Amino acid sequence: MAIVLGANQYGKAEVRMVYVDRTTPVHQVTDVNVTSQLIGDFTDTHLTGANDLVIATDTQKNTVYAMARTGGITSPEEFALRLARNYVDKYDQVTGARMAVEQYFWDRISTATGPHDHAFSKGTAESRTTVVRKDGAAETVISGLTGLVVLKSTGSEFWGFPDVEYTSLVETDDRILATAVSARWLYTSSDIDWDKSFTAVRNALLEEFANTHSLSLQQTLYAMGKGALEAVPEIAEIRLSLPNKHHFLVDLGKWNLDNPNQVFYAADRPYGLIEAAIIRDDAPIAPGVWEGIAAFI
């Protein structure tokens, strides 16, 4: 029996960067959080502390900034791929790379004379995500969004569940349905119109959330995933993690008040959690491709 080093990766996490495109007086702002990690022949530093092969995490941070300067950022996916290829192509000891980018949104401020050239206000808590894995020549792109909080004030039911041990929930044919959408989808290639695909998936998710009359959050989740796959042929699989953010109808009966679905208590914890993958049955999905991706909890 021996104790040995297994899977490992290292790098710089959460490199916060704002990139300003000043090509015209109407500036564009790209706000990202980049986590860079390298995979390869790094046994020495683990066993002896010899760092000859270790591209310092500080160097990885500098590389994020320098490659933004030299090539800009057209999309999180393109930038992450460029970073990953840089390392795997350049250094023998680097056999793989994992680049994660999270993008935050900014809106142009509306002023009395129209949208401002260079003043912005921060958007919602939603962010756009991508995780690019490069293992030798193989490239995997899993993109997504998180923090998209949505709510339907009607059009949601939940009934027909079995009355088993420890069941006390009452059936309802009208409830608030609310969730914070976390989605991750697997692209079939690393040569995609990334922005167009992102927008199309996002629109499909929102459209289905809004328009599906819900009998369970599972049903809504499946409709959302199916809608995304139908709208965007270049994705092979989508994984959704949907907390059921409970809004409980307040019982005012003690004081002879009814409550026709008007007054709700928005609960923090616990919450339901519904998670599923929706896939194309003919898509070539490599085994292990989701490993290390926090798609489900």
Please tell me whether residue 286 binds a second copy under the rule CB under 8 A.
Answer: no
Tell whether residue 244 is a contact of a second copy (CB under 8 A).
Answer: yes
Q: Which is nearer to a second copy, 189 or 268 (CB)?
A: 268
Kindly identify the residues of this chain, within the stretch 203-242, that bind a second copy according to CB under 8 A: 206-207, 209-211, 214-216, 218-219, 221-222, 225-226, 229-230, 237, 239
Q: Are 156 and 274 in contact (CB under 8 A)?
A: no
Kindly calculate the radius of gyration of the chain based on its CA atoms and give it in whole angstroms. Answer: 23
Cα distance between residue 75 and residue 150, in whole Å: 25
CA dihedral of 205, 210, 211, 212, whole degrees rounded to 10? 80
* Size of residue set near a second copy by CB under 8 A: 144
The yes or no reply on residue 289 touching a second copy (CB under 8 A) is: no
**C-beta of residue 149 within 8 angstroms of C-beta of residue 179:** yes
The set of catalytic residues is: 12, 57, 246
- String marking each residue 176-205 x if it binds a second copy according to CB under 8 A: x-----------------------------
Show the binding pattern over residues 4-23: x = contacts a second copy (CB under 8 A), - = does not.
xxxxxxxxxxxxxxxxxxx-
96 sits near a second copy (criterion: CB under 8 A): no
Interface with a second copy, residue 62, by CB under 8 A: yes
Q: Are 143 and 130 in contact (CB under 8 A)?
A: yes
Q: Closer CB to a second copy, residue 69 or residue 136?
A: 69
**Of residues 133-162, those binding a second copy (CB under 8 A):** 148-155, 158-162
Question: Residue 128's closest CA among 83, 85, 80?
Answer: 80
- Within 13 A of 231's CA, how many CA atoms are on the CB side? 21
Q: At what angle do helices 217-231 and 194-211 cross, to 10 degrees?
A: 150
